[in-house]
Chain A
C-alpha cells in the first residue's frame, strides 16, 4: 500500500514547498493523539519532500541539467514524461516514519511527485502509477500555469487519486481501464 502521496516544488536555491499532500489512513496507536498527531503527520511529509528535493537536485546535477528549470512550458503542449528523471530511495525506521518506507519519485520541470510506499511494495507498479498521476495532475491543476489551482482545488487532486490510487491502493490498470478512468474524470490526456 501507499502511505502517502506528495506533490512538491523542489526549489533549488529556494526552499522546497509541499504543494499538495495526501495520507491514506493513520496507523492506530502509532504515536501521540490529538493535535500532535496532526503536526507529526505534516512534519513527516515535509521531511519526505525535502529528501525528494535533495535527491532530485543531485540527480539533475549528475545528468548535467540545471537544477531548477525556470522555463514553464505552455499548458497545451504535451509534457513528455519519457525522459523525466526519477528515483527510489529508502527512509530508515524512525526517520521519519515509525517503520521503514520506500519513496518513489518523479520530477517534471520544476515539480516533483512522490509516493511513500510500504516496504516490499511493487516498485515497478509505483513508477507506473506516478507516471500516470503526473500528467493528469499537471493537466487538472494547471500546474505549469501561473495560477494557484494546486492549493485551491484539493478536490481535483482528490478525485484523481480516488481513481488511480484509491485509499493508497495501486492498481494494475491496462490501457483500456485507464482510458475508462479518463472518461470518468473528463480528462483528455495525450497518448
Chain B
C-alpha cells in the first residue's frame, strides 16, 4: 500500500530543486569514481532513480554524469547491483540524447541483456536492429566459458516483438535451427526422469498427456512441453526459454527446422502450469499447421483424442478454446466434422463456468475473433446467445466493452425480439445465476426441502419450486427459444426483488442502458415495418415489467423513450397502426409520472406523425380520439387545486402535451377552439398558489410562454398547419423534441405581436 513513508519520499523527490539535484548528482558521481562503489553509492543511485522517476516532466541530468552511468554499467568491475541501478536510471530517462551505449563490445551475456534493456527502451529502429544483430551473433558463435545463451533468448524475443524485420532470413534460419536443437535436446534427458508422485497427491488417475500418448508417429513431430530433470542445467534453461518464445518466433518467422522436434513425456508437477502448457502447445500446433498444411491431418486426430480426454474436466475448460480454434481453422481442410466440439463448447461450458472471470474473458474473445461464425442464423454459435450473456451478467465491468463489440453480430430479425427481452432482464439473470450457484452448493438433503403446495419462503427455495421452476429454467436457458417464452416472468422478477441491491446485480444493471442504446442503433438498420411495430408494442408493455431497481428503471426509460421516438421516425405509420396500444399508454395518467421519458416521447411522436401526410389511413376520427385522450391527461395534471392523488410531473411533459394538442388541432381545425380555451387557462394555472409551490418559477414561466406562443400560432391556422406538418421526407430527426418548434413559434409570435418600441408612444 501507499504508506506515509512512501508518500513523504515521493514528495521530496518531486520537490527537489535543480541545484540540489546537481549537487547530489556530483556526490554520487564522486562515489562511483572511487575504488569501490559501496553501499553509499547504491543508496545514492537509488535515491537518484526516484528523483528521476517521480516526475512526469524529465529531469535534466548532467551530460557527463549520464556518460559516467553508461561507463559504470558496461564495466565488468562494477558490482551487479550498481549496474542494475545504472540501467534502471538510464531506462527511466529514455529516450536519452546522450546515449553512447553500445552492445558490440560486451561479452558477458548477462550484462548484454541488461544493456539491451536500455537500448531497446530508446524507441529507435536502428538500436533495436543493432541489438538484434549482436544477439544473433552471440547465438551463432560458441560462447566464452561460463557464459550462457540463456540470457540472450529473451532479448531476441523482445527484438522481434518490437521490430519483426530486424533479422535477415539467414539469421532467422540460424536461430530457428538453434531453437530446434534446444527443444529437442532436453527430450533426451527424459529417459532419466523421476516419478513426480512425491510432490503432491494427484487426485486424477488419468494424466492428460495426449501429445505423447497417441501413436508414436504423431508424437515425434511435436515437441515436449516441459522437461523435468533432477538437476537443471544450462541446456534445460535453454529448453524452457526456447519453448517460452516459440509461439512468437513462429508468428514472426515460421521456422522450417522447427517442424520436426522430438517430444518428451509431460510430467505433472504443477497443475496450472500444465494447463498453460497445453494451451500453448495447441496454439503452436495451430500456427505450424497454418504454415505447413501437411501436418493438419495428424494434428487433427491428435487433438480429437485430447479433446475427448479433457472435455469432461471443468479444470481444463480454458484449453477447449484453442482446440476449438484449431478446428475452426483446419477442420474443413481435413474434412472432419467438429460440430460436436463446438456444441459442447457453446452449450455446456458457459452454463457451467460463467463465474470464472478468466474463462469468461477468453470465451468472449473467442467469439469476437470468430465473429463471422455468428452470421449463420441457424448455427450453434448464434443459437447460444443466451449462454453468452451469462458471462456478461456475472462479470459486467470487465466484459461490457467486449459485449459492445459482440452484440451487433448476434442481432438479426430472428433474434432481435428475444435479445430485447434478454437485455431488459439481464440483471434478473445475474440474480438467477447467483441463486443457481447457491442452490448447487447446498447439500443434497436440503435441496428437496421445499413444500410444493405452499409458497416458497426464500429465493433459494423457489429455485426448485413448481411455481417458479419453469421461469428459472427459461431465464437460465442455454439456447435461443423464442417460442418457449413463458407468458410472464413477472412473478419471478418480483421474487428476485430481494437481490436487487446486491452489488453484482447493480453492476450488471448499469451496463444495460449502453447495450440497449446499441441494440436500437443496430436494429434500426435492418428492421422492417413488422419488427418495428413489434418492438414498439413490446417497449410499451415492458415498461411496466422491469426489475425493481430505481436507477436502472430511470436509465432504461430514458433510452426506451428516445428510441421510441426514433422508431416512430423510421416508420411514422405505426402511430396509426398501433393506435390502440398507444392510446392505452398515453391515456394512463400514471404513466406521465412514473415513466415520464417514455410518455413525453410518445406524446411528441403522436403530435409529429399522426397526420394524413404520413399515413393516408389517418382519419379525422383518429385525430379526435388522440386529441381527447391527451386532453384528458393534460386536464388531469393541470388542475388548479391539485389533490393528493394528482400526479406531479415534469414541466416538459406539460409543454409537450400542449404542443401536441396544438399540432393535432392544426390538422383538424374543429378542435382549435378547445385548445385555445385550454391554453388561455394556463395563465391561471401557473399563477395558482398550489401550483407555484410545486414547480419552480422558471419552469412555470416557460410553460406560460409556450402556451402563449401556441395560442398565437393557432390564430393563424393555415400557418400553424404549415409549421406543424413537416414534409414527409424528413424522417430522421436528430434533436431533442422541442428544439425546432420554439424557433418557429417565436418567429410567428414576432409577426403577431409588434416588438416593443415599434409602437407609437
Which positions in A face B, CB cutoff 8 Å?
A: 1, 9, 11, 14, 17, 19, 23-31, 33-35, 37-39, 42-43, 54-55, 58-59, 61-62, 64, 72, 86-90, 92, 109-111, 118, 122-125, 127-128, 143-148, 150-155, 158-159, 162, 166-177, 180
Contact = CB atoms under 8 A, between A and B. Distances in A.
Contact of B232 (A55, A143, A148, A180): A180
Q: What 6 pairs between A and B have smallest CB-CB spacing?
A: A110-B1, A26-B123, A166-B154, A25-B120, A124-B276, A28-B125
B397 A59 contact: yes
Given A122-B247, A168-B157, 18 more contacts: A9-B2, A24-B117, A25-B120, A25-B121, A26-B120, A26-B122, A28-B124, A39-B58, A118-B161, A123-B358, A124-B276, A125-B273, A147-B5, A150-B6, A153-B46, A167-B154, A171-B241, A172-B243
B398 A170 contact: no
A17 B4 CA distance: 13
Contact of A58 (B6, B199, B397): B397
Nearest to A72: B1
Contacts of A111: 1
A126 to B, nearest CB: 9
B95 A28 contact: no
A28 B162 contact: yes
A86 B9 CA distance: 29
A147 B279 CA distance: 40
Given A26-B123, A72-B1, A124 B318 contact: yes
Interface residues of B, number: 88
Contact of B2 (A14, A42, A109): A14
Contact of A148 (B6, B127, B507): B6
B10 A158 contact: no
A110 B674 CA distance: 68
Interface stretch (B49-57, B581-589, B679-687): B49-57
Interface string B31-56: 00000000000100011011001001
A9 B385 CA distance: 38
Contact of B46 (A125, A152, A170): A152
Contacts of A38: 58, 93-95
Contacts of B4: 146
B6 A42 contact: no
Contacts of B398: 55, 59, 87-89
Contacts of B114: 162
11 contacts: A1-B157, A26-B95, A26-B121, A29-B125, A37-B94, A86-B357, A90-B365, A146-B3, A152-B46, A158-B88, A166-B113
B123 A154 contact: no
Contacts of A154: 46, 49, 53, 85, 88
A33 B123 contact: yes
Contacts of A151: 6, 9-10, 13, 50
Contacts of B228: 174, 176
A29 B125 CA distance: 7
Given A122-B283, A158-B84, A172 B277 contact: yes
A122 to B, nearest CB: 5
Of A26, A61, A110, A170, most buried by chain B (CB within 10 Å of CB) is A26
Interface string B213-245: 000000000000110110010001100110111
A88 B361 contact: yes
Contacts of B318: 124
A58 B508 CA distance: 11
Interface in B122-176: 122-125, 127-128, 151, 153-155, 157-158, 161-163
Nearest to A27: B162
A150 B275 CA distance: 33
Given A33-B95, A89-B398, A172-B226, A9 B1 contact: yes
Highest count of chain B CB atoms <10 Å: which of A1, A37, A54, A72: A1
Q: Which of B199, B245, B398 has its CB near the most chain A CB atoms (within 10 A)?
A: B398
A61 B123 contact: no
B401 A90 contact: yes
Interface of B: 1-6, 8-10, 13, 42, 46-47, 49-50, 53, 56-58, 81, 84-85, 87-88, 93-95, 97, 113-114, 116-117, 120-125, 127-128, 151, 153-155, 157-158, 161-163, 199, 225-226, 228-229, 232, 236-237, 240-241, 243-245, 247-248, 269-270, 272-273, 275-277, 279-280, 283, 318, 357-358, 361-362, 365, 395, 397-398, 401-402, 503-504, 507
Contacts of A88: 357-358, 361-362, 398
Given A39-B57, A162-B113, A168-B158, A62 B504 contact: yes
Contact of A30 (B123, B275, B279): B123
Contacts of A43: 56
Contacts of B273: 125, 128, 172-174
Contacts of A92: 401
Contacts of A34: 95, 97
Interface of A is mostly: mixed
Chain B binding surface, main DSSP class: helix
B279 A1 contact: no
Contacts of B357: 59, 86-88
B269 A175 contact: yes
A42 B277 contact: no
A167 to B, nearest CB: 4
Nearest to A25: B120
A145 B45 CA distance: 23
A126 B273 CA distance: 10
B389 to A, nearest CB: 17
Contacts of A167: 113, 116-117, 120, 154-155, 157-158
Contacts of A118: 161
A176 B243 CA distance: 16
Contacts of B122: 26
Given A59-B397, A155-B85, A89 B361 contact: yes
B270 A174 contact: yes
A33 to B, nearest CB: 6
Nearest to B399: A89
A166 B240 CA distance: 13
A33 B157 CA distance: 24
Contacts of A172: 225-226, 240, 243-244, 273, 276-277, 280
A177 B5 contact: no
Contacts of B84: 155, 158-159
Contact of B162 (A25, A123, A143, A174): A25
A183 to B, nearest CB: 10
B358 A127 contact: yes
B169 to A, nearest CB: 21
Nearest to B358: A88
A111 B2 CA distance: 8
A124 B162 contact: no
B369 to A, nearest CB: 9
Nearest to B50: A151
A1 B232 CA distance: 25
A64 B499 CA distance: 13
Nearest to B225: A172
A186 to B, nearest CB: 12
A118 B247 CA distance: 13
B506 to A, nearest CB: 9
A154 B92 CA distance: 11
Given A125-B276, A151-B6, A169 B56 contact: no
B13 to A, nearest CB: 8
Nearest to B267: A174
Contacts of A28: 123-125, 127-128, 162-163
Contacts of B116: 167
B5 A146 contact: yes
Contacts of A177: 232, 236-237, 240
B679 to A, nearest CB: 51
B236 to A, nearest CB: 8
Residue from the set B85, B273, B395 with the largest chain A CB neighbour count within 10 Å = B273
A154 to B, nearest CB: 5
